[in-house]
């Protein structure tokens, strides 16, 4: 049954692939046989992660990409197919936002948060689906957030965008699952990644204390999200589509 988790011969595109959850996911998928394409704006972190993937014996391609641009998303898919032959898996991991009270957000910041967290999923999923539909098989995994499921005033635009990703996941699954493309979402909790650590430092908070709010009493590690992605990307989840899976350490005293 372990072969159900094999990604041998498959190509995975991972946005936000240079650091945090993207890096952790890239290494997990590579360990299970996938070649990976890493996309983000900054080339240097992408190359560092790509070298780690190559050390595992897998191919790695880096494509600096602004995922808020439909044209650049299409170019990412086109370059993937040109260099590695196909695209079997898409991990829409790019995202993030500042935290501040609702009245302090500017109009431009609102649009940017929606573009990074929601627009990128729309543009890149449609581009990758065109390749997957031709062969009648593929898997799209969206990285959402626990903020999509609860009221968090300090992260209102981000939570709204991620809630829309959950809904879009279901819509795409309904459209494409009969044609061989499964689409699922992971709603992540507090994970040891630069975005959380930077936010904690900005507000003078102890990151470990944030982790203690969940049932496991700790922060998640990026590769723990990566193993959730592996489940959805592999044939182990062949009867699963349109779902939002929470990987958040379990409910704790806060109920989150």
HEC per residue, the chain: CHHHHCCCCCEEEEECCCCHHHHHHHHHHHHCCCEEEEEECCHHHHHHHHHHHHHCCCCEEEEECCCCCHHHHHHHHHHHHHHHCCCCEEEECCCCCCCCCHHHCCHHHHHHHHHHHHHHHHHHHHHHHHHHHHHCCEEEEEEEEHHHCCCCHHHHHHHHHHHHHHHHHHHHHHHHHHHCEEEEEEEECCECCHHHHHHHHHCCCCHHHHHCCCCCCCCECHHHHHHHHHHHHCHHHCCCCCCEEEECCCCCCCCC
Q: Active-site residue 158, yes or no?
A: yes
Please work out, in degrees rounded to the nearest 5, the angle formed at the alpha carbon of residue 113 by the alpha carbons of 108 and 116: 120
Catalytic residue among 38, 92, 158, 189: 158
4, 234 Cβ separation under 8 angstroms: yes
List, by residue number, the catalytic residues. 158
């Amino acid at each position: 049954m372990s072969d159900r988790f094999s990604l041998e011969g498959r190509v995975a595109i991972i946005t936000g692939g240079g650091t945090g959850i993207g890096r952790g996911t890239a290494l997990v998928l590579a360990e299970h046989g996938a070649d990976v394409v890493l996309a983000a704006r900054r080339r240097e972190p992408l190359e560092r992660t790509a070298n780690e993937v190559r050390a595992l014996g897998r191919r790695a391609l880096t494509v600096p990409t602004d995922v808020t641009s439909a044209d650049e998303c299409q170019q990412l898919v086109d370059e993937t197919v040109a260099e590695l032959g196909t695209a079997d898996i898409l991990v829409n991991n790019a995202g993030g936002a500042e935290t501040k009270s609702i009245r302090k957000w500017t109009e431009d910041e609102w649009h940017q948060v929606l573009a990074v967290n929601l627009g990128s999923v729309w543009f890149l999923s449609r581009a990758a689906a065109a390749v997957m539909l031709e062969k009648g098989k593929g898997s799209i995994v969206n990285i959402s957030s626990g903020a999509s499921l609860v009221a968090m005033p300090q992260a209102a635009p981000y939570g709204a965008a991620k809630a829309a990703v959950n809904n879009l996941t279901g819509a795409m699954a309904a459209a494409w699952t009969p044609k061989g493309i499964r689409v699922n979402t992971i709603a992540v909790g507090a994970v040891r990644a630069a975005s959380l650590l930077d936010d904690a430092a900005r507000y003078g908070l102890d990151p470990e204390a944030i982790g203690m709010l969940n049932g496991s009493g700790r922060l998640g590690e990026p590769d723990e999200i990566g193993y959730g992605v592996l489940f959805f990307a592999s044939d182990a989840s062949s009867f699963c589509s349109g779902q939002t899976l929470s990987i958040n350490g379990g409910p704790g005293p806060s109920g989150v």
